[in-house]
Structure 1
Amino acid sequence: MSAAREVVVHPDAEVLAQATAARLLVALVDAQSHRAPLHVVLTGGTVGIRTLAAVAASPVRDAVDWTQVHLWWGDERFLPDGDADRNETQARDALLTALADALPAENIHAVPALDTLVTTPEAAAEAYAAELARFAPEGSDVPAFDVLLLGMGPDGHVASLFPEHPALAAQGATTGVHGSPKPPPLRVSLTFDAIRAARQVWVVAAGAEKAPAVASALASDPVETTPAAGALGAERTLWLVDAAAAAQLPAGGPTA
């Protein structure tokens, strides 16, 4: 595991979303030159969804063989299917509908929604873990994610792993989350074990309200207080931020 973090600062949130989309598409095209299938973990949030919309609008998207790309989510709000607050719903509106002719439906691996058969976050997490395991290499609980995208909240949370929350210590691939400090209170999340299995982890953050948490995470502060500090890729950890979110970084760059 490489603890080194690379930081790329963009002038504003719009450029950040556009640049992240371009970076993702190039990463997929490059990776497909020597392996398949690819596994990508999507994130929600304002910049995350803007990034997906930018992917949809890019002509480079057609250079990707989407039949050989599987899409996953780092976390999900435990709400009924189609709820506007679900990350999956927002991703479908921003990108997946646009890819309908290129991306097989079976390559979209949504976290199970609240319904009459899946009534708790734990049940959804268990079903999602089973789906992840179907595509995992021997000896792992999750696929070898090529790129795992994460947003970050002003409190430093990533996925649905919040400061001082019991889910921080969850084992295995997934966990149900109760009592989220950010509504809705019930969620499903990948664990740190699953996040750290990714080849590349990209943390995307914009806005001045994120600046203290960006500085804290890049200073390797405790995961218990700044969960984003624990978001590390097996091969690469990339922080993609705008100038406002980077405002409290030391002049010489991050300390990690």
Structure 2
Amino acid sequence: MTIYRDVLSAVVRCLAAECIDNTAKQAWQKLYSAHADEGAGIEVLGRLGGAEVIDNNLVDCLVFTVLHKKLKERHWHALAAKYSTHKARKVEAIGKLLPLIATPAPKLFLYKAVTAWAVPKLKGARVQLAPTVSVDIPVDASPSKQAAIIKAALAADQVRRKRIESRSADMIVLPDSFYDMSTWDPDAHSERTRREWRQKIHAVLDEMVSEALKEAEAILHEEGLLLSEAA
């Protein structure tokens, strides 16, 4: 059975499991709900679900279910906003966090500050696809051979484009202008004020994540799923 090296890797993996197999996750949620009062652990739940072998993906789904049920709501949403790669889950979590943060900043500023924290600006997140394809064609090749080379190059480029577009579709990538704080504040407060607001909002969110990871670590300790328990 999977043993995680630390709580963060467990959280990241179980949240990623939602994107890989949402149907399996929902099935394990129902199973957990049915046996939660009996104190059934992850290994027992796996057996109850008819799993002959509790593989890594299954454990990730079970950990997702257990953390979702046992963590405080604000802690679950903080982890989902910070680490989930599931678009809908991340957007939902951001919305759930907004009412929990006290700030003198306008609502627009709060929304954009929380979103920028959950979806930080990443270098290289946008892949520019060239509008043309370069092909080396031997000058002494026959017309049919040249046509075949061009056809193969175009097919390979199409596959590459689909792979890149598919990968980008799984990410939330915000335009660069979103991170410009001057667009967050309709009342045009000073740069110093805006920076202070952002710093305090992010500090509250970071504290929530730290608390959530500590709580998740205690839950995983109980299940014996951390490396220290396996040693």
Normalising by structure 1, report the TM-score.
Answer: 0.22
Between structure 1 and structure 2, the one with the greater Rg is: 2
Instruction: Return the structure number with greater helix share.
Output: 2
The one of the two structures with greater contact order (alpha-carbon pairs below 8 A, sep at least 6) is 2
